[in-house]
Amino acid sequence: MRVAVLGGGIMGSGIAQICAGTGHVVWLLDVDDAALERARASISDSLDRFVHRERLTTSERDATLARIQLTTNLTTAVSNAETVIEAIPEQLDLKQGLLAETAELAPSTCLLATNTSQLSITKLAAAVGDASDRLVGMHFFNPPVLMTLVELIAGLQTSPETLDRAEEFARGLGRETVVCRKDVPGFITTRCAVILRLECLRMLEEGVASAEDIDKALRLGFNHPMGPLELGDLVGMDTFLRNADSLAEAHGERFRAPAVARNMVAAGRYGRKTGHGFYEYDGEGRRIDPPSDAS
């Protein structure tokens, strides 16, 4: 199958790697050559780690890389695609604009998917006109190459056939699926994740425990692979705050972010991408111990 992945950031490059690794020919789109080279380097580094851990052979790594083509041209990416996965930043107007162009350029039978953790699929579908029945939410988790869940979200006009196609495609990638059948802000997983991280932030702000101990408690006590504050550094506090504010608008005070979150964003302490968050990071994004006091 020919798959187009629109956006070469952390999520897009990871999704492209998964698709190529399961045999699909992938066209990966981003805004310029520099962004695409960063995506290629990220995918190559990830595959090298799999080889080092003996989860891939060198020939499998090379074959996966060979199935990924890079382009800055939307027509090139989507004109012959059977599945398109949009994975650009979580901004409604940006996603609507790209999806509208994609619906015009891609085949009329193409499955259109948007990787979003909370934006309304129905609102996004409003931009694609007659293709609205072919648009489905396909929420991958960070990092995509390690997380086995894909959350599927049906918009008001998403057809049952589209949902079935998306589920079959996700399972073909070796992923498990859950289906959110009501297009509500936050879907299933983001509502759960945000409310948990907000409580961790409140405990940090109240001085109940350190960031390190809060994360350790969730890792060891509840078998989380990563603590909520560690994960916040990975995703970015700026992204998290936008999500929380959007959910607060939709669902009320229980999603209102505490002052510590707003202060961290105001100070530019977004997490790994800025080198400072709940913890400190070096230029390669590796955590530096001991952790900083972010409260």
Q: Could you tell me which residue, 55 or 292, shows the higher pLDDT?
A: 55
What's the mean pLDDT in 69-84? 98
List CB contacts of 124: < 8 A, sequence separation 6 or more. 92, 95, 96, 99, 114, 116, 135, 155
pLDDT at 295 over 70: no
What's the mean pLDDT in 173-194? 94
pLDDT for 90 equals 87
Which regions of the chain carry the CATH code 3.40.50.720? Answer: 2-180
Three-state DSSP class for residue 175: coil
Give the tens place of pLDDT for each residue, 33-57.
999 999 999 999 999 999 999 999 9
Here the tokens at position 56 are: 């891939």
pLDDT for 167 equals 98
pLDDT for 192 equals 94
CATH 3.40.50.720 is right for the domain spanning 2-180: yes
Which regions of the chain carry the CATH code 1.10.1040.10? Answer: 189-288
- Going through 61-203 in order, the beta strands assigned E by DSSP cover 68-71, 83-86, 111-114, 135-140, 149-153, 176-180
What's the mean pLDDT in 79-84? 98
CATH number for the domain formed by residue range(s) 189-288: 1.10.1040.10
What's the mean pLDDT in 258-285? 94
Identify the CA nearest to 120 among candidates 184, 39, 35, 213. Answer: 184
List CB contacts of 263: < 8 A, sequence separation 6 or more. none
How are the residues of the chain apportioned to helix, strand and coil, as percentages rounded to the nearest 5? 50, 15, 35
